[in-house]
Amino acid sequence: MSARTHLGRPRKIIDGLEKLVGRAPYVADQWLPGLLHARPVLSPYPHARIRGIDRTAALAVPGVHSVLLGADLNVKPMHSRPSLLLAEDLVVFAGQPVALILADTEAQAADAAALLDVDYEVLDAVEDAEAALAGGTLVWPQGVPKADGGMAGLHGGEAGAQVAREPSNVDEDRTFGRGDVDAALAGAAFTAGGSFRVAGVHQGYLEPHAVAAQPGARPGEVTVYTSTQGQYVVRSEVAGALGLRERDVHVVPLTVGGGFGAKYGIMDALVAAAALHARQPVRLVLTRSEDMLTTMPAPAIDVTLRLGADADGTLTAVDADVRIENGAFRFGHGGIIATMLGGLYRCENVRIRTRELLLNRAPVGAYRAPGVPQALFALESAVDDLTRQLGADPLEWRLRHAVQAGDPMGTGRPWPDIGLRDCLEAARAHPLWQGRRDLPAHEGVGLAVGGWPGAFSPAGAVCRVDTDGTVRLHVGSVDISGVHSSMVLIAAETLGVDPDQVEIVQGTTDSGPYAPNSGGSQVTISLSGAVLDASTQVRDQLLDLAARHFEAHRDDLELTGGQALVRGIPDRAIPIGKLAAQAQRAPGGPGPVVAEGRAALKAGAPGFIAHLVHVRVDPDTGAVTLRRSVAAQDVGFALNPLLVEGQIQGGSAQALGLGLLEGLDYAGGTLANPNFLEYAFPTSTDMPPLEALLVQRPSEHGPFGARIVGEPPITAGAAALANAVREAAGVRVTELPFTPEAVWRLRQAQSGD
């Protein structure tokens, strides 16, 4: 398509109005006949035995329907946070639900929750990585509860070699790589590296986890209304945890107030079990503190890294030891971390060890590009130091060594066509980079690169034309980050209608169509093909109808402005709604104008980024002020540039928050800052201008050349920030987030040298 009317042009999101006027259907607004309100009771201890629970006082609160304990619920053996509905004998993390109160009002449930008398025997807890590795106390003395799959596969992670072992807090210990790292390091002319740590961070969606469940007519049948990124995952989780048939679990995805990887059904099985037990609808909307205590944030990650280069600066070795603090359940970050740590630069010798550690801490989950911002903070800081040693320009050095199509990822598989070098070139051309040497004192620009391989999945979509000309796209995906606003453009482009004429119909697990999760950066590239297929079939149907209507040849017809018309004869035009009405009403058909499209990419469309961050470091206090962020990201083709830029801006903000401000404080094994007052999310006043440079190197696989967009923007910003601080203040930050005091101390230590 040479001249596109809608695709590739910026257009605002389609659901802005309903969100502004308060009509977007959030779970917290759902009401069902006989609804009970739920309030969980969370363990204050990271590790404890429950000696007994006295429900008397809680049940005496007026309006309380029941106090559910683990033994009351009919569940399958637990293997994950979502399947561990309620603790039974043992508590394995502070924040773990031990009971669920059901009452007529939220206030009654909260009153009862406060009165529940739980008798805990506090046990020694595995509070940090050192304790986990020491193994004096085991989180799971009988072995780690395991399930098949989990979230890792959704994000394009890959498996490495795994050694079977005795019960241990080291859940997985894998080594990925190639070549002879020890020899390469021994022979290196230059080395750089160190130990880096990033604190655990929380996804920080504005809407806490919220679920309502209603029992169905059949025993074991339940409908779940939920804020989720993937309704089919929730269906599987609920069915699996409760031992129900998948067909008896109906999931209705409602408006999502932010997900970032966290909204895959953490509380859904519990609420469904409660509704089935009570035989009444139950709704649970977590408070902010409950949400931060009991849900699944990103892990704290330690990376000890060493790079080697030969005399001419060629990278010869990447050696990394990664420790991931997973909390009380398994989660697999290792594969994706290795993929990226060993897959950004050409290097013949790579060794990446990843250890997934179990602790008595809230289990971790996916958070936008899981593990990669943390790992690349280490890698890109070390690269920065290495180029300083080499006296090389950090951008030119990266350009020389950056991977391209055919080069191996950290797991050995080759990259398809990618645009990492294009991103670096775009960053190089930007005035911020060009002018980086002309800045005032105490200011500096840092560079880092990142990226994400991205998942992809088959999908379906239905396109219909209604008799008033409205085009309806029926999709099974969940709209986060404006996904559906881009689908509307595809249909509008294909059918020659204004995007305002296209409406999205949100499917459920019952109605379908099938679509992948809105996560792993995959939904747009996976769904677009199905929407295009359905729209193209509908286009064909409309052209056939118009050809019959005008007694004209199809090749002489076109669809534009909501009409079918005969080219060159302006008065021979008919609105597509009239064609649909004819088709839908005529005896003998052809029947309604409608088509179901299917699509399945053969391979992914990875996205890369080069991130520039400009800071000022106060020489007296160490305080860092963010001046500017410029992220050059290869998006292949921006279906809707406004939304793609928004994604990049949002990811940049999260990257900078992770670098400068955010950190879960698990001192003593219990989260000390479970709220937005003490956990410092960046606000608009913290953020500098966030510029998004759209690099558009078309993907060979993505629809219209589009690449994944969601995850890359968060991957390099924290590292770029650290490199900017190095440039501005001369100190190397090795721990995120960092306080002014930490920078000040580093500067003091340096000047004391």
Q: Which stretch binds a second copy (CB under 8 A): 52-60, 131-139, 259-267, 458-466?
A: 458-466
Min dist CB 457 to a second copy, Å, is 7
DSSP string, 163-192: ---SS-SEEEEEEEEES-HHHHHHT-SEEE
351/474 with CB nearer a second copy: 474
Min dist CB 643 to a second copy, Å, is 19
CA distance linking residue 548 with residue 550, whole number of Å: 6
Note if the bond before 513 is cis, omega within 30 degrees.
yes
572/598 with CB nearer a second copy: 598
- Which stretches of 553-696 are assigned E, i.e. beta strand? 557-560, 563-566, 573-575, 594-599, 607-617, 624-634, 690-695
Decide: is 649 part of the binding site for a second copy (CB under 8 A): no
CA distance linking residue 36 with residue 66, whole number of Å: 10
Min dist CB 671 to a second copy, Å, is 33
Residues in contact with 23: Cβ distance below 8 Å, sequence separation at least 6, in sequence order = none
Asked if 498 contacts 612 with a C-beta cutoff of 8 angstroms, the reply is no
CA distance linking residue 561 with residue 5, whole number of Å: 11
213-242 binders of a second copy (CB under 8 A): 215-218
CA 407: distance to chain centroid? 26
Choosing from 4, 10, 12, 17, the residue that interacts with a second copy (CB under 8 A) is: 17
For 690, phi then psi, to 5°, come to: -110, 105
Choosing from 472, 548, 572, 747, the residue that interacts with a second copy (CB under 8 A) is: 472
Min dist CB 598 to a second copy, Å, is 4
Decide: is 12 part of the binding site for a second copy (CB under 8 A): no
- CA angle at 643 for the pair 423 and 470, rounded to the nearest 5°: 140
Min dist CB 524 to a second copy, Å, is 16
Asked if 473 contacts 486 with a C-beta cutoff of 8 angstroms, the reply is no
Half-sphere exposure of 112 (CA within 13 A, CB side): 29
512/619 with CB nearer a second copy: 512
Decide: is 148 part of the binding site for a second copy (CB under 8 A): no
214/229 with CB nearer a second copy: 214
453/663 with CB nearer a second copy: 453
- By CB under 8 A, how many residues form the interface with a second copy? 57
CA distance linking residue 684 with residue 424, whole number of Å: 27
Decide: is 247 part of the binding site for a second copy (CB under 8 A): yes
What's the count of helices (H) and strands (E) in the chain, helices before strands?
19, 28
292-331 binders of a second copy (CB under 8 A): none
Per-residue binding letters, 514-553, with a second copy (x by CB under 8 A): x---------------x-----------------------
Asked if 212 contacts 220 with a C-beta cutoff of 8 angstroms, the reply is no
Using a 10 angstrom Cβ sphere, with 0-12 exposed, 13-18 middle and 19 or more buried, the burial of residue 147 is middle
Min dist CB 588 to a second copy, Å, is 4
Q: Which stretch binds a second copy (CB under 8 A): 293-301, 428-436, 512-520, 717-725?
A: 512-520
Asked if 297 contacts 364 with a C-beta cutoff of 8 angstroms, the reply is yes
Per-residue binding letters, 601-620, with a second copy (x by CB under 8 A): xxx-----------------
Decide: is 592 part of the binding site for a second copy (CB under 8 A): yes
568/588 with CB nearer a second copy: 588
CA distance linking residue 383 with residue 394, whole number of Å: 8
Min dist CB 510 to a second copy, Å, is 5
Amino acid in the structure at residue 41? V
Min dist CB 21 to a second copy, Å, is 5
Min dist CB 512 to a second copy, Å, is 5
Min dist CB 407 to a second copy, Å, is 21
Q: Which stretch binds a second copy (CB under 8 A): 65-73, 182-190, 487-495, 579-587?
A: 579-587
Decide: is 107 part of the binding site for a second copy (CB under 8 A): no
Choosing from 60, 107, 134, 505, the residue that interacts with a second copy (CB under 8 A) is: 505
Choosing from 2, 3, 33, 163, the residue that interacts with a second copy (CB under 8 A) is: 33
Min dist CB 329 to a second copy, Å, is 24
Q: Which stretch binds a second copy (CB under 8 A): 48-56, 61-69, 460-468, 707-715?
A: 460-468
370/513 with CB nearer a second copy: 513
Residue 73, Ramachandran bin (φ over 0: left; ψ between -120 and 50: alpha; else beta): beta
- Which stretches of 231-349 are assigned E, i.e. beta strand? 249-253, 282-285, 300-309, 315-325
CA-to-CA separations, 4 to 1, 667, 698, 747, in angstroms, rounded: 6, 56, 16, 54
Decide: is 367 part of the binding site for a second copy (CB under 8 A): no
DSSP string, 40-87: EEE-SSSSEEEEEEE-HHHHTSTTEEEEEEGGGS--PPP-STTT--S-
CA distance linking residue 335 with residue 410, whole number of Å: 9
Residues in contact with 114: Cβ distance below 8 Å, sequence separation at least 6, in sequence order = none
258/458 with CB nearer a second copy: 458
Choosing from 60, 71, 134, 600, the residue that interacts with a second copy (CB under 8 A) is: 600
Min dist CB 538 to a second copy, Å, is 10
Min dist CB 542 to a second copy, Å, is 14
Choosing from 586, 667, 672, 749, the residue that interacts with a second copy (CB under 8 A) is: 586
Burial of 672-703, coded b for 16+ CB within 10 Å and e otherwise, reads ebbeeeebeebeeeeebebbbbbbbbbbebbb
Asked if 603 contacts 416 with a C-beta cutoff of 8 angstroms, the reply is yes
Decide: is 23 part of the binding site for a second copy (CB under 8 A): yes
CA distance linking residue 343 with residue 341, whole number of Å: 6
Decide: is 512 part of the binding site for a second copy (CB under 8 A): yes
Min dist CB 159 to a second copy, Å, is 17
Q: Which stretch binds a second copy (CB under 8 A): 270-278, 312-320, 450-458, 482-490?
A: 450-458
CA distance linking residue 269 with residue 328, whole number of Å: 18
Decide: is 413 part of the binding site for a second copy (CB under 8 A): no
Min dist CB 534 to a second copy, Å, is 9
436/707 with CB nearer a second copy: 707
Residue 96: closest CA among 165, 49, 140, 150:
49
Q: Which stretch binds a second copy (CB under 8 A): 73-81, 244-252, 314-322, 546-554?
A: 244-252
For 268, phi then psi, to 5°, come to: -65, -45
CA-to-CA separations, 717 to 119, 184, 385, 419, in angstroms, rounded: 46, 30, 17, 18
Q: Which stretch binds a second copy (CB under 8 A): 39-47, 61-69, 593-601, 730-738?
A: 593-601
Decide: is 499 part of the binding site for a second copy (CB under 8 A): no
Residues in contact with 521: Cβ distance below 8 Å, sequence separation at least 6, in sequence order = 452, 454, 455, 607, 708, 709, 710, 711, 712
* Chain residues in the site for a second copy (CB under 8 A): 17-18, 21, 23-24, 29, 31-33, 215-218, 245-247, 456-460, 462, 464, 466-468, 470, 472, 474, 503, 505, 507, 510-514, 530, 583-592, 594-596, 598-603
